[in-house]
C-alpha cells in the first residue's frame, strides 16, 4: 500500500520528502485554510519545487473551488496549465453534476481524484466516469455510523473482479495509525494522512527500549 501525505504545509511536506516514504501528496481547501493567506497557484508551485528537490515526480492532488460543472472544468484546466506538473491530479467532489466534469476531464487526459466519497455506489460511479483515484473519507463515514472497511473491501472486490486497474482507492480522514492498518487490510491502494500520524507510526516503546539496551551494552563493552 502506498502512503500519501495529506497537507498543504510546506515544512511538513519537506520533512516527509526528506524521509523518502511518501509517494504522493493530497491537499484540500480546509488544509489550505490553515496556511498563511496568499496565492493558491504559487503555493502549489512551491510544493512542486519541494518535490523536484527531494523526489521523483510523485502524485500531487489539488482541488477545484467550484460546484458548477463548467466552472470545475475551467478551473481544472487552469490548474493544469499554471502548475505545469506531470503527475498532477485534480480533486473533484462526487456529485451528479460533478460526474460529467470528471468524465470530460478524463477524456481530455486529465487525472481526476474524485473526493468526498461515503459509499460503494459513489465509488462505482466515479470509477466508471473515469476517475484515477477515488477518495473515501474514512472516519467521517464512521461518524455517520458506517464502516469504511466495508466500503473499501467491497469496492476493491468490484475493481478486481472487473479487472479495473486504472482506478485506485485512497483512504483519507485518518484519525489514528490503526485506521491506516485497517485500510490496508481492507484493500485500499493508498492511505493519505497528516505528518503526525506517520511520526507516531515510526515509534514504539519496544523499539526505544531495545535501542537503549543496545547502546548500554555497547558502552559497557567499550569500557
Q: Which three cell numbers stand for residue 66?
A: 467550484
> How far, in Å, CA of 220 to CA of 200, rounded?
31
User: What 3-state class would DSSP assign to 172?
Assistant: strand
19 tagged catalytic: no
Q: Quote the cell numbers at residue 154.
A: 467491497
Nearest to 166 by CA among 118, 127, 208, 217: 127
Q: How many CA atoms lie within 13 A of 169 on its CB side?
A: 33
With contact defined as beta carbons under 8 Å apart, do 47 and 61 qualify? no
3-class DSSP state of 36:
coil
Catalytic residue from among 2, 53, 69, 91: 91
**Alpha-carbon gap, residue 202 to 121, rounded angstroms:** 35
Q: What is the residue-wise DSSP string for 103-165?
A: HHHHHTT-EEEEEEE-SHHHHHHHHHHT-SEEEEEHHHHHHTT--HHHHHHHHHHHHHHTT--
Residues noted as catalytic: 91
Amino acid at each position: 500500500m502506498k502512503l500519501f501525505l495529506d497537507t498543504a504545509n510546506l515544512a511538513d511536506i519537506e520533512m516527509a520528502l526528506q524521509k523518502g516514504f511518501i509517494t504522493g501528496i493530497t491537499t484540500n481547501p480546509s488544509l489550505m485554510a490553515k496556511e498563511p493567506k496568499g496565492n493558491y497557484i504559487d503555493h502549489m508551485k512551491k510544493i512542486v519545487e519541494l518535490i523536484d528537490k527531494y523526489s521523483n515526480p510523485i502524485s500531487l492532488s489539488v482541488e477545484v473551488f467550484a460546484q458548477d460543472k463548467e466552472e470545475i472544468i475551467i478551473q481544472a484546466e487552469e490548474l493544469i496549465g499554471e502548475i505545469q506538473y506531470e503527475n498532477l491530479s485534480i480533486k473533484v467532489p462526487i456529485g451528479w453534476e460533478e460526474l460529467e466534469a470528471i468524465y470530460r476531464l478524463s477524456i481530455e487526459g486529465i487525472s481526476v481524484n474524485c473526493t468526498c466519497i461515503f459509499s460503494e455506489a459513489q465509488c462505482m460511479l466515479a470509477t466508471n466516469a473515469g476517475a484515477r483515484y477515488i477518495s473515501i473519507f474514512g472516519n467521517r463515514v464512521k461518524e455517520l455510523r458506517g464502516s469504511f472497511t466495508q466500503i473499501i473491501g467491497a469496492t476493491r472486490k468490484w475493481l478486481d473482479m472487473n479487472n479495473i486497474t486504472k482506478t485506485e482507492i485512497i483512504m483519507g480522514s485518518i484519525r489514528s495509525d490503526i485506521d491506516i492498518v485497517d485500510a490496508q487490510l481492507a484493500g485500499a491502494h493508498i492511505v493519505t494522512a497528516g505528518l503526525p500520524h506517520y511520526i507516531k507510526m515510526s515509534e514504539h516503546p519496544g523499539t526505544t527500549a531495545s535501542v537503549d539496551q543496545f547502546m548500554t551494552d555497547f558502552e559497557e563493552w567499550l569500557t
